[in-house]
Amino acid sequence: MKTKQFYAQQVILLLQNDFPNIDTKIDERLVFLSIDEVVNELAKKNYFENWKMGAGAMFDEQFITTWDEIEVIDQPNSLHSYFTFPSNYVGVGMNEGIVDIIPIKYRTSNQSAVIVTSMSDYYRYRSNPAGNMQGRLFGYPKGMKFEFGTCDVKKKYGNMIVRLAIRDSGMIPYDQPYPIPADKEGEVIMTALAVYRDRRKEPADTIRDNKDQGS
């Protein structure tokens, strides 16, 4: 999946094409802000199928966002499998900021989602007869990783669909999957380009002298 940095680079390339023979130094971090601004506004308008406004007090002005394929890592030596969260999520009780984790192979079936527990509960109940969650796939967040309670998860189930409650797209790191639907990519890029051009609001540096007028 493409990252926020990928979209920023597309915007920067278009900006550089405006004046290909001038000195152009563009702060990538400012382009990130423009892209996030566009995506947040479109998400609020329900423009993306995989970004929905949350309901209830816990999720006021927050998005329930879906990543279609997050890679699961199977570790050697029977160590537990894990994946890295694509974004920080809302820190509410009982890990409710993690809305759903669903194996891709169960996308169109009625199979249950992964049970989300806590690390403390896992260690507390792992010797209990019910500690294996009746054979259900389960796991717990561990920092920015989600660790499953078993190994070879990717081999058995494949990668995961992950749904998280996030405050806004700015919570998604620049190098993590940025879940813009493929058919909306061009519009997001061109809208962010216009936003960034307006934000800059400075005269064009048309003299090639190794000095950027905006710096």
Q: What is the pLDDT of residues 66-117, one digit of tens each?
A: 999 999 999 999 999 999 999 999 887 778 889 999 999 887 765 678 999 8
Question: Mean pLDDT lowest for which of 20-24, 46-50, 187-191?
Answer: 20-24
* Eight-class DSSP state of 81: P
Mean pLDDT of 47-59: 78
DSSP codes of every residue in 41-72: HHHHTT-STTEEE--SGGGTT-EEEEEEEE--
Rounded CA gap, 79 and 151, in Å? Answer: 6
**Amino acid 1: pLDDT:** 81
In this prediction, residue 207 has a pLDDT band, given cuts at 50, 70 and 90, of: very low
The whole-number pLDDT of residue 32 equals: 95
Q: Are 8 and 32 in contact (CB under 8 A)?
A: yes
Average pLDDT, the chain: 84
Give the lowest-confidence range in 85-89, 124-128, 197-201.
Answer: 124-128
Using the predicted structure, report yes or no on whether residue 42 has a pLDDT greater than 90. yes
Q: What pLDDT is attached to residue 215? A: 43
Query: Given strand 115-116, what is the order of strands in its sheet?
Result: 82-84, 145-148, 138-142, 115-116
Check whether 65 has a pLDDT greater than 50.
Answer: yes
Domain boundaries, given as residue ranges, for the chain = 1-48+180-205, 52-169
How would residue 135 be classed by pLDDT, with cut points 50, 70 and 90?
A: low
Residue with more model confidence, 127 or 84: 84
